[in-house]
Structure 1
Amino acid sequence: MMIPILKKSDYETIKALIEGIHPTQRTKEVGTLQSELRRAKIVEDDKISQNVIQLGSYFEVREITSKRQLCLTLTLPGEANLQEQRVSILSPLGVALIGFQKGKEFEWQLPAGKRTFIIEKVSAPTSLTTT
């Protein structure tokens, strides 16, 4: 099982986001994201590889079976907009991808069933959100 790699500022942002969600509003993805945070390797912001998907990263993944390619940017929930290819960290795919690197294959249970993806491209965040 792959260990996600998170930069410290993303870890703190995501942790605060989860803590701010009322218990009655917590989805299965929120619980999964909490688990991912617990097992993640946390690194200093300047030590994170540009090939690791972070908040604000643009990435391209391909679903192995269908060869369908998704080109998305990982965002906070308030910035998510599928028409603009901006996917929330709280979405099933967002939870699946945070902290993983270009070239990695992973399986994830999506609403349509379990799928295998490969991360083909990752671009570093273009704008950093400061708190």
Structure 2
Amino acid sequence: MKPIVKESDYSTIKNIINNLTPAQKTKEVGQLMNELELAKKVPDKKIPKDVIQLNSYFEVEVGTPAQIIKMTMVIPKNADLAQHKISLFSPLSVALIGFREGASVDWVLPGGLRKLKILKVTNQVQQELVAK
């Protein structure tokens, strides 16, 4: 399964990574760069609505017994776990970016190999359309 990334997210993420100091380029940043290079890049208007991208709210089932995690993926400076906002450089974000609702991903997280099942994805565009 190949991740899907919209062109504007790809540019934004690459710019953030390019401006990091060598000390800030963690293992997760390297993994994210690899995932981005493998990803199918699509025009913003053609990204499916159920794909996890920057500013996506998502619910994911992790491990056995299942734990449900509800987060919004944001750029690092906006990360705030108290508000359920997780950095795109976190291991969980690196594992999920570009994958669709309903997908399962096996990924090594800090606690070891975990199966991640994406239960729900909501993107800002969808929320704005509902609000109008």
Q: TM-score, normalised by structure 1?
A: 0.92
Deviations 1:20-75 (A, max 9, x none): 11123210001001101111100000000110001000000001412100010000
Question: Which residue identity is paired with 2:15?
Answer: A
User: What are structure 2's unaligned runs of at least 5 residues?
Assistant: none
Distance of 1:9 and 1:61 partners within structure 2: 24
Instruction: Please tell me the residue identity of whatever aligns with 2:57.
Output: Y
The residue identity in structure 1 corresponding to 2:95 is: A
Structure 1 equivalent of residue 13 of structure 2: 14
The size of the alignment, in residue pairs, is 127
Give 3-state SS (helix, strand or coil) of 1:24's partner: helix
Partner Cα distance (1:47, 1:38) in 2: 19
User: Quick check: which one's helix share is greater?
Assistant: 2
Within 5 A, what are the aligned runs for 1:51-130? 51-125=50-124
2:12, 2:60 → 1: CA distance?
24
What SS does the corresponding residue of 1:54 show, helix, strand or coil? Answer: coil
The percentage of counterpart residues that share the same residue type is 47
Q: Secondary structure at the match of 2:52?
A: coil
Where 1:100 maps in the other structure, the secondary structure is coil
2-side partners of 1:5 and 1:48: how far apart? 8
Unaligned runs of 5+ in 1: none
Per the normalisation by structure 2, the TM-score is 0.92
Structure 1 CA distance, aligned partners of 2:63 and 2:50?
20
**Counterpart in 2 of 1:40?**
39
Q: In 2, Cα distance between the equivalents of 1:80 and 1:59?
A: 15
Q: Is the 8 A contact 1:102 1:121 kept in 2?
A: yes
Deviations 1:64-96 (A, max 9, x none): 412100010000001101111100000000111
Q: Which runs of 4+ in 1 moved over 3 A?
A: none
* Residue type of the alignment partner of 1:44: P
